[in-house]
Chain A
Amino acid sequence: MFNIYCPYCEEHREEEEFHPSGQAHLARPADADACTDKEWGDFLYFRKNPRGLHQELWQHTAGCRKFFNITRDTVSYQILETYKVGQSPQVKLPEVKLEEPRHG
């Protein structure tokens, strides 16, 4: 069970109060109608699954109901930082060369 610092409540709270919402910083395309099927498909379905540092979106569901971001190491499970929506992470992620997702 994680011990998560809620950047809004400014306290560490138990994981039971939170709900994970997947990868952070997924911006909805500004002009959705102009997206190609491939672009829209990437936005809809393709997610990172890194070994190491990852930015995740969580919600403090049983607390303040606010969404916020976490930089977490998926190997050690250490949380390096939490920050509000709209803020930038302080921890830099290593450059990873992503393979072009395959479309079937």
Chain B
Amino acid sequence: MEKILVSDQYAPDSLSERAEFGDINVPVVETALQHVNLRQVATRTGSGHGVSFSELPVTGLLVLRARSERAALQSALQTTVNIKLPDTLQSEVSVSSGSHKSVYCIRWVAPDEWMLSCPAQDAFDIETRLRSSLGGNSVAIVNVTGGYSVLQLSGQHANDVLKKSTVYDVHPQNFSVGKVVNTTFAKAQVMLRCVSNDEYELIVRRSFADYVWHWIQVASKEYGLSVSRS
């Protein structure tokens, strides 16, 4: 009997931008900030401001949990996606391809917890392969693709916006490129990653995305905010 359920949570051909509802057989995807119509906002704000914001398209996200079976997880990851676990807690390992900086990125966020991101359509495949590679080892894998919104904040004042928003010490001396932390973001929580200098990734709970977006607009007001739809 199957011990852990692995189910496909991705509908093929479904990465089209949301249009008017037409055919029930053509699923459309909505990101958490779809209602904001960021593309239109982007036109309005122009570019070249102190802070730049974007919401990534739906990104495949898998929570990986392991305690004593870390080695097993490590080797399963290596066989399936050829990525290794980060060496230190609160850091990440990314695999890039072409212009994509992190096609796969694994973030070590708690002693027994990692967050793996991947293209949305690959999440089921990766989970399945990890499961079969892990065999009976006690590792938890949870597909949480729909549960989060992946945001990007960049620009010369992005760090200032973070300082207004999180209690974590985001000074580059402490929060250097490649560091990932779970912390607060205003009254919400965030998985925060320093992608490169002045470029940050915010993974927030989907239901809080609208709040976070409103907060960022207010916090970046004095620096100017440009929006892009990546």
Contacts and interface: CB of A to CB of B under 8 A. Distances in A.
Q: Do chains A and B touch in the complex (CB under 8 A)?
A: yes
- DSSP class of B's interface residues: helix, strand, loop or mixed? strand
A68 B143 CA distance: 28
A64 B183 contact: no
Size band of the B side of the interface? Answer: 10 to 19
A64 to B, nearest CB: 3
A77 B113 CA distance: 32
Given A8-B111, A9-B89, A9-B90, A64 B168 contact: no
Given A9-B181, A13-B183, A17-B167, 10 more contacts: A8-B111, A9-B89, A10-B89, A14-B167, A14-B184, A17-B183, A64-B109, A65-B110, A65-B113, A66-B111
A73 to B, nearest CB: 23
Interface of A: 8-11, 13-14, 16-17, 62-66
Interface string B144-185: 000000000000000000000001100000000000011110
Contacts of A63: 110, 181-183
B142 to A, nearest CB: 14
Contacts of B31: none
Contacts of A62: 182-184, 189
Contacts of B184: 14, 16-17, 62
A62 to B, nearest CB: 5
Interface in B181-228: 181-184, 189
A64 B167 contact: no
Contacts of B90: 9, 11
